Amino acid sequence: MSDASSFPLTSQTQGTTSQLRLLALSNGHGEDAIAVRILHQLQQQQNPPTLFALPLVGEGYAYQKLDIPLIGSVRAMPSGGFIYMDTRQLMRDIGGGLVQLTCHQIQAIRNWVSSQKKLGHQSAILAVGDILPLLLAWISGANYAFVGTAKSEYHVRDENGLLKRNNKTAWLENFSGSIYHPWERWLMSRQLCRAVFLRDSLTTQILKKWPIPAFDLGNPMMDDLEPSFPTARFYGADIEQQELARPLIVTLLPGSRPPEAYANWQKILTAVSTLITFSQERDFQARTSKTLVFLGAIAPSLHFESIRQILISHGFHPHPESPIQFPHAEILTFKQKNAYLLLTQTAYNDCLHLADLAIAMAGTATEQFVGLGKPAIIIPGKGPQFTFSFAEAQSRLLGPSVILVEQPQEVAQVVRSLFANPDQLHRIAENGLRRMGKPGAAKRIADCLIKRLA
């Protein structure tokens, strides 16, 4: 555990015209990334607030990249922040010092607010994630805003009404008329809560039934995903002919959390094998070229050599030529029969934009892929993150844009079905854009925060 409780009060506080001091609280790797997108946009304001951060889970590397000082104690927990899906993970975190860590963090937040008040500065909290940062923001006694990343009304309903579910305890998620429970809504409706930013329009619409300052400004997950090439690079005058001539491109998303991601990678490569077999069929060859291209979007947190060795064990061998050129990325190319597999840890955005579909066992990455209007086939793993419960919840969150299969061998049949139903692909495109929103949310939220907190 590292302790930054003796946070700096001079390096950032001097030489700025704004008196607002903003402390970001977030509880997870994905939440850190969303908070950082918003803070980066705040730094671009004409009179930017002075920024501090306290990652409640993990060590806050995302903040450190922006040179945002951390306050209080930080520690990586065994669960990585996924305790809400598995009580065993919660017990591991408690054994790892979660209770003591939270007590230290509460004290650090209070000390920070008190010190800013003594220095004559206006202070505020930006809570990003779920009820934990929201609760700590309220405990601070300062004005606060909340970015709700974990919950969406799409978990329990769509635009046509409540979802039909077989789970006998499913009603608990919506027992009070919203996915957000009364105690969460109470925290969001306090006078000190100046703004609440929800992840989609449907959730915002539902929460406006209560006296909550809810804003529908989009989802920062869809920011900073621009590709390094023009998106129409494949197409010329004869679009239909070129579409039939180009390969089918499938992005592989095993997740970012070791060691789970390595087991996910094994399962995804089993699905890849079934697709290679399917590509030999006349059905496949009538709709695209005979070539398959898989793009392995490997997170920097994973050991690249381990990923490569697993790939070789599944029958792929190194190949000197790549069917796709990535101008500014390091790529390793492998081949098996008529299939190429490209591995990269540096061309994530390109992997999302190039693909026709994804085979995914990831959280944020799957949502971002779907948000680009494309289908993702998801396969549950052993966890702790991408379990069946997580995958099932993700399928409700993202609706028809994700197809949940229980076994990797089922992937080829799903691809066959997608080929046969172009209208379904059109619905998937519309659905993904509607549920994940347009890019630019971080700037819109930052502009709103300046008005609501200053």
Q: What one-character-per-residue DSSP string does 214-246 give?
A: EE----GGGSS---SS-TTTT--S-HHHHHHHS
Q: With the CA atoms of 396, 248, 258 and 52 taken in that order, what torsion angle do they form, in degrees rounded to the nearest 10?
A: -70
Q: Is residue 151 in a domain? A: yes
Query: Mind listing the pLDDT tens digit for each residue in 282-293?
Result: 766 666 667 899
> Given this model, what pLDDT does residue 225 score?
96
| CA distances in angstroms from 189 to 101, 192, 444, 448, listed in the order given | 27, 8, 21, 17
Tokens of 2: 């590292």
Q: Is 32 exposed, middle or buried (0-12, 13-18, 19+ CB in 10 A)?
A: buried
Determine how many CB atoms are found less than 10 A away from the CB of residue 346: 14
Q: Is residue 346 in a domain? A: yes
10 CB-near residues (< 8 Å, 6+ apart): none
Within this chain, do residues 444 and 303 fall inside the same structural domain, yes or no?
no
CATH no. for residue 378? 3.40.50.2000
> Given this model, what pLDDT does residue 92 score?
56
Fill in the amino acid letter for 360.
Answer: A
Q: Is residue 371 in a domain? A: yes
Specify the number of domains making up the chain. Answer: 2
C-alpha–C-alpha distance, residues 420 and 172, integer Å: 38
C-alpha–C-alpha distance, residues 171 and 127, integer Å: 27
Within this chain, do residues 24 and 85 fall inside the same structural domain, yes or no?
yes
Within this chain, do residues 432 and 356 fall inside the same structural domain, yes or no?
yes
Q: Is residue 141 in a domain? A: yes
Percent of the chain exceeding pLDDT 90 equals 72
> Given this model, what pLDDT does residue 8 score?
42
| Residues of the domain holding 293 | 239-436
The closest of 143, 133, 132, 139 to 107, measured between CA atoms, is 139
Q: Is residue 231 in a domain? A: no
Within this chain, do residues 167 and 278 fall inside the same structural domain, yes or no?
no
Side-chain half-sphere of 436: how many Cα atoms within 13 Å? Answer: 27
- List helix spans (H) across 119-238: 131-140, 182-188, 201-207
Q: Using N-to-C axis directions, what is the helix angle for 260-278 and 304-313, rounded to 10°?
A: 40
Query: Which DSSP helix (H) or strand (E) runs through 368?
Result: helix 364-371
Q: Is residue 49 in a domain? A: yes
> Given this model, what pLDDT does residue 75 score?
60
Query: Mind listing the pLDDT tens digit for each residue in 178-233?
Result: 999 999 999 999 999 999 999 999 999 999 999 999 999 999 999 999 999 876 54
Within this chain, do residues 243 and 175 fall inside the same structural domain, yes or no?
no
Within this chain, do residues 447 and 330 fall inside the same structural domain, yes or no?
no
Query: Which DSSP helix (H) or strand (E) runs through 113?
Result: helix 98-118
Q: Is residue 234 in a domain? A: no
Within this chain, do residues 141 and 44 fall inside the same structural domain, yes or no?
yes
Within this chain, do residues 170 and 275 fall inside the same structural domain, yes or no?
no
Query: Mind listing the pLDDT tens digit for each residue in 280-336?
Result: 877 666 666 678 999 999 999 899 999 999 999 999 999 999 999 887 789 999 999
In Å, the largest CA–CA distance within the chain is 75
Within this chain, do residues 136 and 282 fall inside the same structural domain, yes or no?
no
Within this chain, do residues 87 and 205 fall inside the same structural domain, yes or no?
yes
Q: Is residue 233 in a domain? A: no
Encode the chain (454 residues) as per-residue pLDDT tens digits: 444 443 443 334 333 434 899 999 999 888 999 999 999 999 999 999 999 999 998 788 899 999 999 997 666 655 555 444 455 555 556 555 567 888 899 999 999 999 999 999 999 999 999 999 999 999 999 999 999 999 999 999 999 999 998 887 888 899 999 999 999 999 999 999 999 999 999 999 999 999 999 999 999 999 999 999 876 544 344 545 555 567 999 999 999 989 999 999 999 999 999 999 988 877 666 666 678 999 999 999 899 999 999 999 999 999 999 999 887 789 999 999 999 999 999 999 999 999 999 999 999 999 999 999 999 999 999 988 899 999 999 999 999 999 999 999 999 999 999 988 999 999 999 999 999 999 999 999 999 999 999 8
Within this chain, do residues 396 and 343 fall inside the same structural domain, yes or no?
yes
Query: Which DSSP helix (H) or strand (E) runs through 412?
Result: helix 411-420
Within this chain, do residues 9 and 158 fall inside the same structural domain, yes or no?
yes
CB 140 within 8 A of CB 109: yes
